[in-house]
Amino acid sequence: MKPDRIVVGADDVRPAEILRDLYAPFVRTGSPVLMMDIRTAEMIKYAANAFLAARISFMNEIANLCEEVGADIEMIRKGMAADGRIGPAFLFAGVGFGGVVSRKIPGIDETARETAIHEDLEAVEVVNTNRPVVSSTR
Per-residue pLDDT of the chain (138 residues), as tens digits, is 788 899 999 999 999 999 999 998 888 888 899 999 999 999 998 888 888 888 888 888 888 888 889 999 999 999 999 999 999 888 887 665 555 445 456 566 566 666 655 566 667 677 666 665 544 444
Residue 74 has what pLDDT?
A: 92
Query: Which residues are CB-neighbours of 10 under 8 A, at least 6 positions away?
Result: 16, 19, 35, 37, 38
Burial of 120: CB neighbours in 10 Å, binned 0-12, 13-18, 19+: exposed
Say if CB 23 and CB 35 are below 8 A apart.
no
Count Cα neighbours of 22 within 13 Å in the Cβ-side half-sphere: 9
Say if CB 9 and CB 41 are below 8 A apart.
yes
DSSP 52-96: HHHHHHHHHHHHHHHHHHT--HHHHHHHHHTSTTT-STT---SSB
pTM over 0.85: no
DSSP letter, residue 25: G
